[in-house]
A and B are shown apart, each in its own frame.
Chain A
Amino acid sequence: AQRVTQPEKLLSVFKGAPVELKCNYSYSGSPELFWYVQYSRQRLQLLLRHISRESIKGFTADLNKGETSFHLKKPFAQEEDSAMYYCALSEGYNTDKLIFGTGTRLQVFP
């Protein structure tokens, strides 16, 4: 069955430190992977998707099919990065169904 695992409930770092939020998935086909972010008192929003290969707000994520991982990274964390981050998987073509992980709360201290 499709599954997304985010092993850390909480990740705390100081401003300027590197950040890596872990995401592992299980899916037999060729999934599409996403990172969604929810800032305090705001709605869930797309941060990035693996097919676009963009860097958004300094964040990047590389799909590693061998390790079935899609970790989110940023070299220098900012206080405004503090938020809830969700990794999600889609089966791909012709569906909007997303399978979410349980989320990781990132706290960036000054």
Chain B
Amino acid sequence: DAGVTQSPTHLIKTRGQQVTLRCSPKSGHDTVSWYQQALGQGPQFIFQYYEEEERQRGNFPDRFSGHQFPNYSSELNVNALLLGDSALYLCASSLGLGRYEQYFGPGTRLTVT
């Protein structure tokens, strides 16, 4: 089991563009959460998906949206990119909601120029 996988590893985009990041959860997991980690900061919760629905959302604008597919994989979409969106985006998966350990992926490094 490769654990949580994310793609791509690195991404460079221009201000105003749109980006899609992808996450495959650990085998057997059905819940996916997304975090943004700016340089020198701890991860910040963006949102969580369970049973293909957004269950909880952090303090992020509507430019950040997501999706969960029937196979539990997930996408994070960011529209109208700003320079401040440059960060490491982490995906974490778990089984169920709030009961078991979350496993993190290696992250996608997004640079907005």
Partners in one complex: yes
Interface positions of A (Cβ within 8 A of B): 4, 43-46, 49, 86, 88, 90, 92-103
Bound-state Cα–Cα, A99 to B35, Å: 10
> A9 to chain B: closest CB distance in Å?
8
Bound-state Cα–Cα, A49 to B63, Å: 33
The A-B contact count (CB < 8 A) is: 57
Q: Which of B3, B102, B105, B107 contacts A98 (CB 8 A)?
A: B102
A96 near B105 with CB under 8 A, answer no
Bound-state Cα–Cα, A94 to B31, Å: 11
Interface positions of B (Cβ within 8 A of A): 3-4, 31, 33, 35, 40-45, 48, 55-56, 58, 90, 92, 94, 97-98, 101-107
Known: A43-B107, A44-B90, A96-B92. 5 other contacts (CB 8 A): A49-B101, A93-B98, A95-B55, A95-B98, A101-B42
On chain A, the residues within 8 Å of B45 by CB distance are 97-99
Q: Which of B4, B40, B102 contacts A96 (CB 8 A)?
A: B102
On chain A, the residues within 8 Å of B107 by CB distance are 43
Who on chain A is nearest to B32 by CB?
A: A96
A95 near B102 with CB under 8 A, answer no
User: Among A44, A94, A99, which residue has the most Cβ atoms of chain B within 10 A?
Assistant: A44
Given A43-B104, A43-B107, are A94 and B42 neighbors across the interface (CB < 8 Å)?
no
